């Protein structure tokens, strides 16, 4: 008996070391953005339908909260507890009252994600095809907060870290960008690219988590741009630990108020998935973090610098340099199989204009992405 008890306690830490995915509401109706209300329940938009759903926790019961929209997309609460919703194709942002009634709040082009901006009590709205972020006062006046640059493509998801820094994810080019209060853009990571179609993002405890809509996976990146595939493989609706869990076009994502749990909407099934044990190893295991000591030296550079990194295992690698417009300046590697060990590649910059460039290392179809800035004097 004592031996069995000892074995059980030995196994418990091992079982808790990996993420666990659980379907908490099947066919909820919600396929898009998720947000917590003041009562601790989830609200979820249905982009392919006309409604916003309320998913009560912990039982997962779903009911329609508000209806009558075109393409419900991003959701946000203001400091007064009023809900706002971005109607993407309808080109409207709606204000929705606690009883589910609503009114038009603002008319802007192609709104996608929403977030309340406490610095000046406004609503920020990403414009999917407008390549910008609008700022909307609570009286409904609109202006452009930031545009172009890394927002070119299709900005959607937004979230803040604990220091009030704003991060924006781009659906098409899979970048994550940090925005200053004046709207200046700073790249965090390029992500995997290649049609991954990044959905919404959520910040929790030092990481930005996000959905990869067409890849049926979740990713996470730290704030230094060290990006990795976090969960998922092929399309499916499988619960369980990181080795077996599957998603079907994951789209919306939100962290619990205390940051220890994630909730995800699957677009293809409208299932709501709960992810616990966030600090466990990603589903890729140690191979997901096989590149180490990625550096650019010298940096700042004159006419020549060297990109170097170490691989713990053989990997298929691409090594590219981008300018601040997100355009490729040079490609040093393209899906080349590299052996384990140290690798160095010269980057010739003699004819490049002065400025900041981004050296991006992608391994195994974007399973790991590392981004380093290069300064050309």
DSSP 14: H
Distance CA 275, CA 262 (A): 5
* pLDDT for position 337: 96
* pLDDT for position 291: 83
Alpha carbon of 168 to those of 17, 47, 75, 263: distances in Å? 29, 20, 15, 19
Return the CATH number of 290-376, one of 3.80.30.20, 3.40.190.10, 2.60.40.1930, 3.40.1710.10: 2.60.40.1930
* pLDDT for position 1: 39
Tokens coding 341: 């060990």
* pLDDT for position 322: 93
Alpha carbon of 262 to those of 142, 250, 265, 319: distances in Å? 32, 12, 10, 32
Task: Walk across the sheet containing 166-170 and list its strands.
Answer: 155-160, 166-170, 176-179, 185-189
Question: Hey, how many other C-beta atoms are within 10 angstroms of the C-beta on 182?
Answer: 7
Which CATH fold topology does 19-284 show?
Methylamine Dehydrogenase; Chain H (2.130.10)
pTM (predicted TM-score): 0.90
* pLDDT for position 153: 85
**Domain ranges in the chain?**
19-284, 290-376
Strands (E), 327-367: 328-338, 341-348, 355-363
Contacts of 64 (CB under 8 A, 6+ apart): 29, 51, 52, 53, 54, 100
Cβ-contact 76, 114 below 8 angstroms: yes
How close are the terminal C-alpha atoms of the chain, in Å? 70
Distance CA 355, CA 263 (A): 40
pLDDT in tens, the chain (377 residues): 344 333 333 333 444 458 999 999 999 999 999 999 999 999 999 999 999 999 999 999 999 999 999 999 999 999 999 999 999 999 999 999 999 999 999 999 999 999 999 999 999 999 999 999 999 999 999 999 999 999 998 999 999 999 999 999 999 989 999 999 999 999 999 988 877 899 999 999 999 999 999 999 999 999 999 999 999 999 999 999 999 999 999 999 999 999 999 999 999 999 999 999 998 666 654 444 578 889 999 999 999 999 999 999 999 999 999 998 888 999 999 999 999 999 999 999 999 999 999 999 999 988 899 999 999 98
Question: Do the domains 19-284 and 290-376 sit in the same CATH topology, yes or no?
Answer: no
* pLDDT for position 10: 34
* pLDDT for position 375: 96
* pLDDT for position 287: 44
53: β partners: 44, 64
């Amino acid at each position: 008996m004592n031996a069995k008890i000892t074995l059980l306690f030995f196994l418990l830490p091992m079982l808790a070391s990996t993420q666990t995915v659980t379907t908490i509401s099947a066919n909820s109706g919600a396929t898009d953005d998720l947000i917590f209300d003041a009562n601790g329940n989830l609200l979820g938009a249905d982009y392919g339908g006309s409604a916003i759903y309320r998913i009560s926790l912990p039982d997962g019961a779903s009911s329609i909260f508000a209806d009558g929209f075109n393409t419900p997309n991003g959701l946000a609460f203001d400091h007064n507890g009023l809900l706002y919703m971005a109607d993407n194709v309808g080109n409207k942002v709606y204000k929705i009252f606690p009883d589910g009634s609503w009114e038009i709040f603002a008319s802007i082009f192609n709104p996608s994600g929403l977030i309340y901006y406490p610095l000046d009590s406004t609503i920020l709205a990403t414009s999917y095809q407008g390549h910008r972020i609008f700022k909307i006062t609570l009286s409904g006046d609109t202006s452009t907060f930031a545009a172009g640059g890394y927002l070119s493509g299709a900005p959607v998801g937004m979230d803040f870290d604990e220091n009030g820094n704003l991060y924006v994810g781009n659906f098409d080019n899979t970048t994550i960008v940090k925005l200053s209060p004046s709207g200046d853009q700073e790249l965090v990571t390029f992500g995997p690219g290649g049609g991954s179609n990044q959905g919404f993002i959520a910040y929790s405890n030092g990481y930005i988590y996000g959905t990869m809509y067409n890849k049926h996976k979740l990713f996470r990146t730290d704030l230094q741009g060290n990006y990795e595939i976090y969960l998922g493989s092929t399309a499916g609706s499988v619960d369980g630990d990181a080795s077996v869990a599957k998603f079907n076009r994951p789209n919306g994502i939100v962290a619990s108020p205390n940051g220890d749990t994630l909730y995800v909407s699957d677009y293809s099934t409208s299932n709501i998935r709960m992810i616990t044990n966030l600090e466990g190893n990603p589903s890729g295991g140690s191979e997901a973090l096989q590149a180490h000591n990625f550096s650019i030296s010298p940096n700042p550079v004159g006419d020549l610098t060297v990109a170097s990194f170490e691989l713990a295992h053989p990997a298929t690698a691409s090594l590219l340099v981008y300018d601040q417009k997100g355009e490729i300046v040079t490609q040093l590697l393209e899906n080349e199989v590299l052996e384990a060990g140290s690798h160095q590649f010269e980057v010739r910059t003699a004819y490049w204009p002065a400025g900041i460039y981004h050296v991006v290392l992608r391994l195994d179809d974007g399973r790991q992405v590392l981004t380093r800035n290069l300064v050309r004097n």
